[in-house]
Chains A and B, each alone.
Chain A
Amino acid sequence: MGKNHPNVDKYVVSRVRALESILLEKGILPPDAVDRVVQRYEADTGPMVGVRAVARAWVDPAYKQRLLEDPRGALKDFGLDYEALRVVENTPAVHNVVVCTLCSCYPWAVLGLPPTWYKMPAYRSRTVAEPRKVLAEFGLTIPESREIRVWDSSAELRYMVLPERPAGSQAMGEAALIPLITRDALIGVADVRLPSPA
């Protein structure tokens, strides 16, 4: 086990089950809640709303403007009412990356559950202080001439990066772009690339 997955003793599992049983009895936890959580995050594998919004922003300049200026309104096109989101745009001059140093705030409504690394001390401690080194570990080299903006999600607003559209993708439509867009690109630890030729 790596440090991302510390050993958990049976005390923890027993304590969870104990708490579950008490909250079931008290009418706080519905009996189907755990199944619904698993269903939502494990079985629901379609493209995330964040990915779909980015693909549309790349092909539709008016939608892009809405996504940046009125993200709540823009997300409603995908059936999601999410008042907390702010979208920050990568450009040739600026690269954005998102972190939560105090806990693990994450725009889960548009990106799903956060990856474990996002919640662990290494990412949370270092991203505000040495983002270039952290991004290099993710395989992303940002030249000194390009400004890095780190967004520390300390309030209830949630940040998502609008990555740059990859060069050479101009002929591609929204549906073809969707599979290229990764969760990591929307956190700001990756860019979006065309698949390398076979």
Chain B
Amino acid sequence: MDGVHDLGGMHGFGPVEREANEPAFHEPWEAAVYAIMRASLGTGQYTLDEFRHGVERMDPAHYLRSGYYEHWLDGIARVLIEKGVVSGDELAARTAFFAERPDAPASAAVRAMPATPAPRIKWMAPDSERPVTKAPRFAVGETVVTRNIHPTGHTRLPRYARGKHGVIHRQHGTHVFPDSNAHRGGEQPQALYSVRFDARELWGPAAEPNQHVYIDLWEPYLEPGAPRG
């Protein structure tokens, strides 16, 4: 989707603000969101692609006003409710409960712990690589052009790189296709490539000199392209 998350090349955000000696988490709730994200992913409540698409559908103005872990919270809650793991009414009721009891721990609202304990959280995301079932369509060094597509669902073809010529830099094997896997369409693994783009192709004559952008793109995003001189 052409969402607010697709930030490459947008103007107006000002300088990069850095913080000296930044802590791992600024608030305890951020660590809780991180734990919730890993536990839900690790137990298969959603795929990484469903999670990302959940974040992308956040209200755009809210997305820009809020920080990273609030993005995660918003996306996780959206997807868990959509998948029926969590009831939206129950989440709202418990949110009201804790709003009135700001010092209460999460366990204060727990009615009964599960008979089967939750598995330990996994630190690693599941591997996205799958066995190769057909030969890749494009060879290293071949010129390709990215498709000019604007799907309303999830995609990992950034807006700034659509309809652009690039050169296959490397073949990465076959990987789960996010455009399908984010929508219960199954993994539908596709060949994945590193594609090299000249900055002038992406940004025109105002591009900075002597710059290339490398983007990892799935085969369905690409068409054969005539070399440009």
Determine the chain B residues whose CB is within 8 A of the CB of A104 once the complex forms.
68
Knowing A27-B118, A154-B158 touch, does A144 contact B209 (C-beta < 8 A)? yes
B128 with A156: CB separation less than 8 A: yes
Taking a contact as CB atoms closer than 8 A, the residue among B8, B19, B112 that contacts A115 in the complex is B19
Interface residues of A, Cβ cutoff 8 Å to B:
2-6, 8, 10-31, 33-34, 36-38, 40-42, 82-84, 101-104, 109, 112-113, 115-117, 119-126, 128-134, 137-138, 144-157
Residues of A within 8 A of B160 (CB): 101, 128-129
Given A25-B114, A37-B35, also A10-B91 (CB < 8 A) = no
Q: Is the CB of B64 within 8 A of A19?
A: no
Q: Which 3 A-B pairs have the closest CB atoms?
A: A27-B114, A101-B8, A18-B94
Q: Which of B22, B80, B211 contacts A150 (CB 8 A)?
A: B211
Task: Decide: A121 near B73, CB < 8 A? Known: A20-B106, A22-B94, A38-B25.
Answer: no
Residue contacts A-B, CB under 8 angstroms, 14 given: A15-B77, A21-B109, A23-B40, A101-B160, A109-B123, A115-B19, A117-B16, A122-B14, A124-B8, A137-B16, A149-B211, A152-B215, A155-B156, A156-B175
C-alpha gap A132/B67 in the complex (Å): 26
Q: Do A134 and B32 touch (CB < 8 A)?
A: no
Q: How many residues in B have their beta carbons less than 8 Å from beta carbons of A? A: 106
Shortest Cβ distance from A3 into B: residue: B17
Q: Which of B77-94 contact A (CB under 8 A)?
A: 77, 80, 85-86, 90-91, 93-94
Interface contact A156-B125, CB-CB below 8 Å: yes
Is the beta-carbon distance between B70 and A22 smaller than 8 angstroms?
no
Known: A34-B35, A103-B55, A121-B13. A28 touches B40 (CB 8 A): yes
CA distance A31 to B6 in the complex (A): 35
Contact with A along B191-212 (1 / 0, CB 8 A): 0100000010011000111111
- CB atoms of A22 and B91 under 8 A apart: yes
Once A8-B27, A147-B211 are accepted as A-B contacts, the answer to whether A116 and B19 lie under 8 Å apart by CB is yes
Contact status B210-A147, CB under 8 Å = yes
Closest B residue, CB atoms, query A189: B16
